[in-house]
Protein backbone atom coordinates (compact mmCIF):
# COMPACT_ATOMS: atom_id res chain seq x y z
CA UNK A 1 0.00 0.00 0.00
CA UNK A 2 1.19 3.52 -0.79
CA UNK A 3 -0.19 6.76 0.65
CA UNK A 4 0.10 9.83 -1.59
CA UNK A 5 0.81 12.93 0.50
CA UNK A 6 -0.22 16.29 -0.95
CA UNK A 7 2.08 19.14 -0.01
CA UNK A 8 3.02 22.65 -1.02
CA UNK A 9 6.43 22.98 -2.65
CA UNK A 10 8.14 25.28 -0.14
CA UNK A 11 11.13 23.93 1.73
CA UNK A 12 9.28 24.11 5.04
CA UNK A 13 6.18 22.36 3.66
CA UNK A 14 8.34 19.56 2.27
CA UNK A 15 10.18 19.13 5.59
CA UNK A 16 6.87 18.91 7.43
CA UNK A 17 5.52 16.40 4.92
CA UNK A 18 8.65 14.30 5.34
CA UNK A 19 8.04 14.35 9.10
CA UNK A 20 4.55 12.94 8.54
CA UNK A 21 5.92 10.40 6.07
CA UNK A 22 8.46 9.24 8.67
CA UNK A 23 5.74 8.94 11.31
CA UNK A 24 3.63 6.81 8.97
CA UNK A 25 6.56 4.57 8.08
CA UNK A 26 7.47 4.11 11.75
CA UNK A 27 3.92 3.16 12.70
CA UNK A 28 3.16 1.11 9.56
CA UNK A 29 6.29 -0.48 8.03
CA UNK A 30 4.12 -2.06 5.33
CA UNK A 31 2.92 1.32 4.02
CA UNK A 32 4.94 3.34 1.52
CA UNK A 33 4.53 7.07 0.93
CA UNK A 34 4.88 9.44 -2.01
CA UNK A 35 4.98 13.23 -1.90
CA UNK A 36 2.81 14.99 -4.47
CA UNK A 37 3.74 18.66 -4.96
CA UNK A 38 0.83 21.09 -5.34
CA UNK A 39 1.00 24.83 -6.02
CA UNK A 40 -1.64 26.88 -4.22
CA UNK A 41 -2.94 30.39 -4.88
CA UNK A 42 -1.17 31.52 -1.73
CA UNK A 43 2.15 30.41 -3.25
CA UNK A 44 1.53 32.29 -6.50
CA UNK A 45 0.08 35.63 -5.37
CA UNK A 46 2.78 37.16 -3.19
CA UNK A 47 2.14 40.88 -3.68
CA UNK A 48 -1.12 41.13 -1.71
CA UNK A 49 -2.12 40.49 1.93
CA UNK A 50 -3.87 37.15 2.53
CA UNK A 51 -7.21 38.71 3.42
CA UNK A 52 -7.34 40.35 -0.02
CA UNK A 53 -6.87 37.10 -1.94
CA UNK A 54 -9.13 34.77 0.01
CA UNK A 55 -7.77 34.34 3.54
CA UNK A 56 -6.35 31.09 4.88
CA UNK A 57 -8.11 29.01 2.22
CA UNK A 58 -5.61 30.17 -0.39
CA UNK A 59 -3.10 27.69 1.04
CA UNK A 60 -5.34 24.63 0.91
CA UNK A 61 -8.06 25.00 -1.75
CA UNK A 62 -6.08 23.31 -4.52
CA UNK A 63 -4.85 20.63 -2.13
CA UNK A 64 -8.38 19.82 -0.96
CA UNK A 65 -9.54 19.66 -4.59
CA UNK A 66 -6.78 17.15 -5.39
CA UNK A 67 -7.84 15.08 -2.38
CA UNK A 68 -11.51 15.04 -3.36
CA UNK A 69 -10.56 14.19 -6.96
CA UNK A 70 -8.56 11.18 -5.73
CA UNK A 71 -5.17 12.53 -6.82
CA UNK A 72 -3.80 12.39 -3.26
CA UNK A 73 -4.78 10.45 -0.14
CA UNK A 74 -3.80 12.88 2.60
CA UNK A 75 -2.48 16.42 2.94
CA UNK A 76 -0.05 18.02 5.38
CA UNK A 77 -0.67 21.54 6.67
CA UNK A 78 0.68 24.03 9.15
CA UNK A 79 -2.36 23.93 11.41
CA UNK A 80 -2.38 27.69 11.95
CA UNK A 81 -3.02 28.12 8.21
CA UNK A 82 -6.20 26.02 8.22
CA UNK A 83 -9.52 27.81 7.70
CA UNK A 84 -12.33 26.92 10.10
CA UNK A 85 -14.30 25.12 7.40
CA UNK A 86 -12.63 22.11 5.78
CA UNK A 87 -13.85 20.53 2.57
CA UNK A 88 -16.93 18.36 3.10
CA UNK A 89 -16.03 14.72 3.59
CA UNK A 90 -12.56 15.45 4.99
CA UNK A 91 -11.18 15.63 8.53
CA UNK A 92 -8.00 16.27 10.46
CA UNK A 93 -7.09 12.71 11.36
CA UNK A 94 -3.75 13.33 13.07
CA UNK A 95 -1.41 15.96 14.44
CA UNK A 96 2.27 15.57 15.25
CA UNK A 97 3.72 16.63 18.63
CA UNK A 98 3.71 20.41 18.88
CA UNK A 99 6.89 22.42 18.35
CA UNK A 100 7.73 25.77 19.98
CA UNK A 101 4.64 27.97 19.51
CA UNK A 102 6.38 31.31 20.11
CA UNK A 103 6.94 34.02 17.53
CA UNK A 104 10.46 35.34 17.07
CA UNK A 105 11.90 38.72 16.15
CA UNK A 106 14.67 38.26 13.60
CA UNK A 107 17.17 41.08 13.05
CA UNK A 108 20.47 41.40 11.24
CA UNK A 109 23.42 40.35 13.40
CA UNK A 110 24.45 42.99 15.94
CA UNK A 111 22.40 45.67 14.14
CA UNK A 112 21.26 48.68 16.14
CA UNK A 113 17.57 49.40 15.83
CA UNK A 114 16.74 52.86 14.49
CA UNK A 115 14.25 55.08 16.30
CA UNK A 116 11.44 54.01 13.96
CA UNK A 117 12.36 50.49 12.81
CA UNK A 118 10.62 48.94 9.82
CA UNK A 119 9.37 45.50 10.86
CA UNK A 120 8.19 43.10 8.19
CA UNK A 121 4.94 41.24 8.82
CA UNK A 122 1.67 40.80 6.95
CA UNK A 123 -0.09 39.61 10.11
CA UNK A 124 -2.40 41.92 12.05
CA UNK A 125 -1.71 39.80 15.12
CA UNK A 126 2.05 40.16 14.82
CA UNK A 127 1.74 43.86 14.06
CA UNK A 128 -0.01 44.26 17.43
CA UNK A 129 2.98 42.60 19.09
CA UNK A 130 5.39 44.84 17.20
CA UNK A 131 3.67 47.91 18.64
CA UNK A 132 4.35 46.58 22.13
CA UNK A 133 8.02 45.90 21.37
CA UNK A 134 8.63 49.11 19.42
CA UNK A 135 5.92 51.76 19.96
CA UNK A 136 7.34 53.89 17.13
CA UNK A 137 7.87 51.05 14.68
CA UNK A 138 6.49 50.97 11.16
CA UNK A 139 5.12 47.63 9.96
CA UNK A 140 5.44 46.69 6.31
CA UNK A 141 3.88 43.81 4.42
CA UNK A 142 6.09 40.83 3.68
CA UNK A 143 5.12 37.63 1.86
CA UNK A 144 7.00 34.62 0.56
CA UNK A 145 8.53 31.55 2.18
CA UNK A 146 10.83 31.77 5.18
CA UNK A 147 14.05 31.78 3.12
CA UNK A 148 12.71 34.59 0.95
CA UNK A 149 11.80 36.66 3.98
CA UNK A 150 15.18 36.11 5.62
CA UNK A 151 16.96 37.16 2.44
CA UNK A 152 14.88 40.33 2.25
CA UNK A 153 15.93 41.11 5.82
CA UNK A 154 19.60 40.44 5.01
CA UNK A 155 19.30 42.79 2.00
CA UNK A 156 18.24 45.61 4.30
CA UNK A 157 14.63 45.87 3.14
CA UNK A 158 13.54 45.64 6.79
CA UNK A 159 15.07 46.31 10.20
CA UNK A 160 13.43 43.16 11.54
CA UNK A 161 10.84 40.53 10.68
CA UNK A 162 8.54 38.35 12.79
CA UNK A 163 8.48 34.61 12.11
CA UNK A 164 7.28 31.47 13.86
CA UNK A 165 9.90 29.75 15.99
CA UNK A 166 8.64 26.33 14.85
CA UNK A 167 9.27 27.01 11.19
CA UNK A 168 12.70 28.50 11.83
CA UNK A 169 13.65 25.48 13.91
CA UNK A 170 12.42 22.91 11.38
CA UNK A 171 14.37 24.67 8.62
CA UNK A 172 17.54 24.81 10.69
CA UNK A 173 17.52 28.58 10.24
CA UNK A 174 18.27 29.32 13.89
CA UNK A 175 21.93 28.55 13.18
CA UNK A 176 22.11 31.20 10.44
CA UNK A 177 24.87 33.50 11.67
CA UNK A 178 23.60 36.45 9.64
CA UNK A 179 20.84 37.03 12.17
CA UNK A 180 19.92 37.48 15.81
CA UNK A 181 16.81 35.59 16.95
CA UNK A 182 14.79 36.87 19.91
CA UNK A 183 11.87 34.89 21.32
CA UNK A 184 8.78 37.02 21.93
CA UNK A 185 7.09 36.01 25.17
CA UNK A 186 3.40 35.15 25.34
CA UNK A 187 2.89 38.20 27.55
CA UNK A 188 3.77 40.37 24.57
CA UNK A 189 2.37 38.30 21.71
CA UNK A 190 -0.03 35.38 22.07
CA UNK A 191 0.59 33.00 19.15
CA UNK A 192 -1.85 32.22 16.39
CA UNK A 193 -4.17 29.38 17.37
CA UNK A 194 -2.49 26.04 16.57
CA UNK A 195 0.89 27.63 15.77
CA UNK A 196 3.64 25.01 15.84
CA UNK A 197 1.27 22.12 15.03
CA UNK A 198 1.48 19.97 11.89
CA UNK A 199 -1.93 18.65 10.85
CA UNK A 200 -2.80 15.72 8.58
CA UNK A 201 -6.01 16.01 6.55
CA UNK A 202 -7.68 13.02 4.89
CA UNK A 203 -10.97 11.95 3.41
CA UNK A 204 -13.27 10.45 6.02
CA UNK A 205 -12.76 6.70 5.81
CA UNK A 206 -10.31 3.87 6.28
CA UNK A 207 -7.06 5.83 5.78
CA UNK A 208 -8.14 8.55 8.20
CA UNK A 209 -9.05 5.98 10.82
CA UNK A 210 -5.76 4.15 10.43
CA UNK A 211 -3.63 7.29 10.62
CA UNK A 212 -5.16 8.32 13.94
CA UNK A 213 -2.51 6.01 15.37
CA UNK A 214 0.24 8.53 14.56
CA UNK A 215 -1.58 11.42 16.23
CA UNK A 216 -0.21 12.95 19.45
CA UNK A 217 -3.11 12.93 21.91
CA UNK A 218 -2.21 16.00 23.98
CA UNK A 219 -1.43 18.06 20.88
CA UNK A 220 -4.77 17.06 19.37
CA UNK A 221 -6.62 18.25 22.49
CA UNK A 222 -4.81 21.61 22.17
CA UNK A 223 -5.56 21.72 18.43
CA UNK A 224 -9.28 21.18 19.06
CA UNK A 225 -9.40 23.72 21.88
CA UNK A 226 -7.63 26.49 20.01
CA UNK A 227 -9.77 25.87 16.92
CA UNK A 228 -12.78 26.26 19.21
CA UNK A 229 -11.46 29.66 20.27
CA UNK A 230 -11.19 30.68 16.62
CA UNK A 231 -14.76 29.57 16.04
CA UNK A 232 -16.09 31.43 19.07
CA UNK A 233 -14.26 34.62 18.09
CA UNK A 234 -15.19 34.18 14.41
CA UNK A 235 -11.60 35.20 13.75
CA UNK A 236 -10.16 35.20 10.24
CA UNK A 237 -6.62 35.70 8.98
CA UNK A 238 -6.90 39.50 9.41
CA UNK A 239 -7.72 39.19 13.12
CA UNK A 240 -5.17 39.89 15.89
CA UNK A 241 -6.68 37.04 17.95
CA UNK A 242 -4.38 34.56 19.64
CA UNK A 243 -4.69 31.35 21.63
CA UNK A 244 -2.31 28.91 23.25
CA UNK A 245 -2.95 25.85 25.37
CA UNK A 246 -0.86 23.21 27.07
CA UNK A 247 -1.64 20.10 29.06
CA UNK A 248 -0.25 18.96 32.38
CA UNK A 249 -1.50 16.38 34.91
CA UNK A 250 -4.84 15.91 33.16
CA UNK A 251 -5.60 19.62 32.97
CA UNK A 252 -5.47 22.07 30.09
CA UNK A 253 -4.26 25.64 30.58
CA UNK A 254 -5.62 28.04 27.96
CA UNK A 255 -4.65 31.63 27.14
CA UNK A 256 -6.82 33.68 24.79
CA UNK A 257 -6.96 37.20 23.38
CA UNK A 258 -8.97 38.82 20.63
CA UNK A 259 -6.83 41.95 20.27
CA UNK A 260 -3.41 41.21 21.90
CA UNK A 261 -4.35 43.78 24.55
CA UNK A 262 -6.65 42.01 27.00
CA UNK A 263 -5.43 38.47 27.66
CA UNK A 264 -7.08 35.85 29.87
CA UNK A 265 -5.72 32.54 31.17
CA UNK A 266 -7.44 29.75 33.07
CA UNK A 267 -7.38 25.97 33.39
CA UNK A 268 -9.83 23.08 33.47
CA UNK A 269 -9.98 19.32 33.20
CA UNK A 270 -9.29 18.16 29.65
CA UNK A 271 -12.87 16.92 29.36
CA UNK A 272 -14.07 20.49 29.99
CA UNK A 273 -11.75 22.10 27.40
CA UNK A 274 -14.52 23.48 25.16
CA UNK A 275 -16.40 24.93 28.13
CA UNK A 276 -13.13 26.56 29.21
CA UNK A 277 -12.75 28.15 25.77
CA UNK A 278 -16.34 29.42 25.89
CA UNK A 279 -15.88 30.86 29.37
CA UNK A 280 -12.70 32.74 28.52
CA UNK A 281 -13.90 34.07 25.19
CA UNK A 282 -17.16 35.32 26.74
CA UNK A 283 -15.10 37.23 29.34
CA UNK A 284 -12.93 39.05 26.80
**CA distance linking residue 55 with residue 42, whole number of Å:** 9
Mean pLDDT of 204-223: 97
DSSP codes of every residue in the chain: -EEEEEE-SSHHHHHHHHHHHHHHHHH-TT-EEEEEE---HHHH--SS-GGGTTGGGGGTHHHHHHHHTTS-SEEEEEGGG--SSPPTTEEEEEEPPP----EEEEEETTPPPPSS-EEE---HHHHHHHHHH-TT-EEE---S-HHHHHHHHHTTS-SEEEEEHHHHHHHTGGG-TTEEEEEEPTTT-PPPTTTT-EEEEEETTHHHHHHGGG--HHHHHHHHHHHHHHHHHT--TT---EEEEEEETTEEEEEEESSSSSEEEEEEEGGGHHHHHHHHHHH-
1-95+197-215: CATH, from 3.40.710.10, 3.40.190.10, 3.60.20.10, 3.40.50.720: 3.40.190.10
Q: What mean pLDDT is reported for the chain?
A: 92
81 catalytic? Reply is: yes
Mean pLDDT of 34-48: 71
The answer, as to whether pTM is greater than 0.75, is yes
Q: CATH 3.30.160.40: which residues of the chain?
A: 216-284
Which of 43, 73, 81, 103 is flagged as catalytic?
81
Classify domain 103-184 by CATH number. 3.40.190.10
Please, which residues have CB within 8 angstroms of residue 283's CB and are 6 or more apart in sequence?
264
Q: What is the pLDDT of residues 132-174, one digit of tens each?
A: 999 999 999 998 899 999 999 999 999 999 999 999 999 999 9
56 pLDDT band, cuts 50/70/90, is low
Q: CATH 3.40.190.10: which residues of the chain?
A: 1-95+197-215, 103-184
Whether the pLDDT of residue 57 is over 70: the answer is no
Classify domain 216-284 by CATH number. 3.30.160.40
54 pLDDT band, cuts 50/70/90, is very low
Please indicate whether residue 240 or residue 235 has the higher confidence score (pLDDT). Answer: 240
Whether the pLDDT of residue 176 is over 60: the answer is yes
Whether the pLDDT of residue 235 is over 80: the answer is no
| Residue 10: count of CB within 10 angstroms of its CB | 19
Mean pLDDT of 48-66: 67
Amino acid sequence: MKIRIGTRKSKLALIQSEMVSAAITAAFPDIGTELVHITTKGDIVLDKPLEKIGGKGVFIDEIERAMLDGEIDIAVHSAKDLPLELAAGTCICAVLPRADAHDMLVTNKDAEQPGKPVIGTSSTRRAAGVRKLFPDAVTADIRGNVDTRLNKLADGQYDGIILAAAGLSRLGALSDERFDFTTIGFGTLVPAPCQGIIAVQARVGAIAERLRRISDTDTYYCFETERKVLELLNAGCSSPAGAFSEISDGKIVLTVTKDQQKTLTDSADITDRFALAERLVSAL
